[in-house]
Chain A
Amino acid sequence: MVDGMWEQHGEDNRLRLLCSGDHEAFSWFVDKYKETVFLCCRRLGLREDEVEDVASETFMAAYKGLSRYSGRSELSTWLWSIAYRKGIDCLRRNRRERQLEDEQENEIAAGRENGPTVVTDGRETEQVVWEAVERLPRLWRVAVVLHYREEKAIADIAKIMDTRENTVKTYLFRGRQKLREMLSEALGEDCNAGK
């Protein structure tokens, strides 16, 4: 309990320093959230060269905007919404070349219809699950990762994705359904993806 209080105090102090533009606090901030930002960029389906650019843009935008951070939402939710926006902007910027890439990818995907192959060679379940998640449509994938990995509430996800809560619920429902289908084939059991 006391440890928790000190931790909270330290966190508040760091946040205060961070908002005042302290470089050490910013370094802590990047260290803490870089994985989250890269996760967001990759789940949005950005190319590897774009991922790093968008992650940098996200942290710089956060650095510029930290003095205006109100604390109304969690810091991670605020950062996710910046990363998501930047990622979507990047996708829009490169829409034409991405259309070509998606077409090629769809052709390849058609060849390996129905997602991850059955686990017979002792592959980790984790890898199979991630492969299945990666095969979900972009927005379902982001919603699933936000809800199940980042443990964000529906309202927060709606805020991040700038959409309605009902839409998020639909993404999650469909994502779970699709995952269940894919995983039951791959793992050879009845996977209840929602639990």
Chain B
Amino acid sequence: MLGRTLRRHSEPVPADFTERMLRQARELDEKRIVSRVIWQGRSALAGTILLGAAAIVGIVALPGRIGALLSSIGMGFTGRGGALIDRFPQAVGVVRNEWQLYAVLAVLLAFAVFCLLDLLVGDRVRMA
């Protein structure tokens, strides 16, 4: 008897409740999109500033090391593949000796690449 009686009862609900909820859901979605765009802009800006600052600090504080690093990277890209393979153990040795500097540079580079990718294709990835 209790179950039957309770099931017959219908609970009063404001007439426009569904519309209001739908409006709130749309507003929430808009807020999410706006905050995503803001975050994307901020991360891109932070990446640019950090990488720029690191480059400036590197050039001012460690001109020799940065020069050597850039020239070794440049050598790698200018068709000296064979020489690079020959010198691979030597390069490993250099990285091992200066691993703190290379680690910082690797993190900065990864962050810059992430920011760049996010800026270019982030939206498409998120939409998918």
Contacts and interface: CB of A to CB of B under 8 A. Distances in A.
Interface in A147-174: 148-149, 151
A125 B3 CA distance: 13
Interface string B9-24: 1111110011011101
A148 B9 contact: no
A130 B6 CA distance: 7
A98 interface: no
B1 A38 contact: no
A23 B26 contact: yes
Judged by DSSP, the binding face of A is helix
Nearest to B29: A21
Contacts, number: 76
Contacts of B29: 21
A144 to B, nearest CB: 8
A84 interface: no
Given A26-B22, A31-B18, A129 B5 contact: yes
A6 B11 CA distance: 29
A144 B6 CA distance: 10
A77 interface: no
A83 B24 CA distance: 17
